């Protein structure tokens, strides 16, 4: 991992996940700088991680080799324009994690000619089990790409996509994906409580089952479909449950859900980049 200071602009949920993961990977907290406008959040970031915090974003950019844009898409233009001068002076690698917002717009807001990598990480970065897709325009050097990849690889798996539009699909799949699995965990826990289990017992078993299923699916050579079939005895209990899920249209529901997320990502890109 690079030892250059990394400045996060925005210290919310996703920045905290990345910072926690980087520190767990051995990165020195003093080389992680965070510009965060909310005083309570700055205080919490210092207390939890021991990172340096800044009230004014340009101050965090000066001296940083890498700048991570970690504010909500809706405020990214204002934030980028506010640090443009510092970025043009400092010439850091800029990594955007914002959903939807296109690279050409961010580059323009930052004054143009910026070494920019657009990424879509997810919150399991906190426990170094993140999944991040990265995209860089043709002009970004191999060295800058390696630098961006090394930051995100420190907190989990990384993949490059060669079409920026793929980031919308990635956002729908792995960016938002943890929430879908949490929802399934919530639903399974509630259903098990209805069957008479104590809430604590139901949650523990639901969570460990999710963990075990993901672990075996990652480690085994078989596909998830083959692993599912292995659990499903003919005329057994799993078959009874899977039949209910299929009759309710589980595949179609996920297809619609991911399509909605990808459409929202594209919509954010259109909406927020429309100042040209």
Ligand X SMILES: NC(=O)C1=CN([C@@H]2O[C@H](COP(=O)(O)OP(=O)(O)OC[C@H]3O[C@@H](n4cnc5c(N)ncnc54)[C@H](O)[C@@H]3O)[C@@H](O)[C@H]2O)C=CC1
Question: Of 57 and 171, which CB lies nearer to ligand A1CAB in the complex structure?
Answer: 171
Tell me which residues in 156-185 interact with ligand X (CB under 6 A).
175
- Matching residue, tokens 């991040």: 132
Which entry of ligand A1CAB, ligand X, none binds 147, CB below 5 to 8 A by partner kind?
A: none
Q: Tell me which residue of 20, 24, 26, 34 sits closest to 3, measured CA to CA.
A: 26
Tokens 């879509």 -> residue: 120
Asked if residue 91 lies in contact with residue 66, where contact means CB atoms within 8 angstroms, the answer is no
Q: Which of 97, 116, 155, 170 binds ligand X (CB under 6 A)?
A: 97
Q: Is 10 annotated as a binding residue?
A: yes
CB of 175 to ligand A1CAB, least distance (A): 3
- The CA angle 11-17-21, to the nearest 5 degrees, is 125
Please, which residue, 6 or 202, has the CB nearer to ligand X? 6
| Cβ–Cβ < 8 Å for 85, 58 | yes
Residue with tokens 């406008």: 37
11 is in an annotated binding site: yes
Among ligand A1CAB, ligand X, none, what binds residue 57 when CB lies within 5 to 8 Å by partner kind? ligand X
Could you give the string, one character per residue 56-95, with x where binding to ligand X holds by CB under 6 A and - elsewhere?
Answer: -x------------xxxx-x---x----------------
**Which 3 state secondary structure label does DSSP give 242?**
helix
Burial of 212 (0-12, 13-18, 19+ CB in 10 A): exposed
Q: Minimum CB separation from ligand X for residue 142, in Å?
A: 25
The label of the residue with tokens 């299923």 reads 213
Where on the chain is the footprint of ligand X (CB under 6 A)?
9-15, 35-38, 41, 57, 70-73, 75, 79, 97-99, 120-123, 175
Where on the chain is the footprint of ligand A1CAB (CB under 6 A)?
99, 171, 175-176
């Amino acid at each position: 991992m690079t030892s250059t200071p990394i400045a996060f602009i925005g210290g919310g949920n996703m920045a905290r996940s990345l910072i926690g993961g980087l520190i767990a990977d051995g990165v020195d907290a003093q080389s992680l700088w965070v510009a965060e406008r909310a005083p309570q959040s700055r205080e919490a970031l210092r207390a939890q991680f021991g990172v340096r915090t800044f009230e004014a974003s340009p101050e965090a950019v000066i001296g940083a080799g890498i700048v991570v844009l970690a504010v909500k898409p809706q405020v990214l233009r204002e934030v980028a324009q506010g640090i443009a001068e510092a970025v043009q002076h400092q010439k850091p690698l800029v990594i955007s994690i914002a959903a939807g917002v296109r690279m050409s717009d961010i580059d323009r807001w930052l004054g143009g000619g910026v070494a920019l990598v657009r990424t879509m990480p997810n919150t399991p970065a906190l426990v170094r089990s993140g999944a991040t897709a990265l995209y860089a325009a043709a002009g970004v050097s191999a060295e800058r790409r390696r630098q961006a990849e090394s930051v995100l690889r420190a907190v989990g798996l990384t993949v490059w996509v060669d079409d920026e539009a793929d980031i919308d699909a990635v956002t729908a799949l792995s960016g938002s994906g943890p929430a879908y699995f949490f929802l399934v965990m919530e639903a399974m826990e509630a259903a098990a409580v209805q069957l008479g289990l104590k809430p604590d017992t139901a949650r523990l078993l639901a969570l460990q089952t999710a963990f075990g299923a993901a672990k075996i699916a990652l480690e085994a050579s078989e596909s998830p479909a083959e692993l599912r079939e292995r659990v499903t005895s003919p005329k057994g209990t799993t078959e009874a449950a899977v039949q209910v899920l299929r009759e309710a249209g589980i595949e179609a529901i996920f297809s619609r859900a991911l399509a909605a997320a990808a459409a929202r990502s594209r919509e954010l890109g259109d909406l927020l980049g429309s100042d040209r």
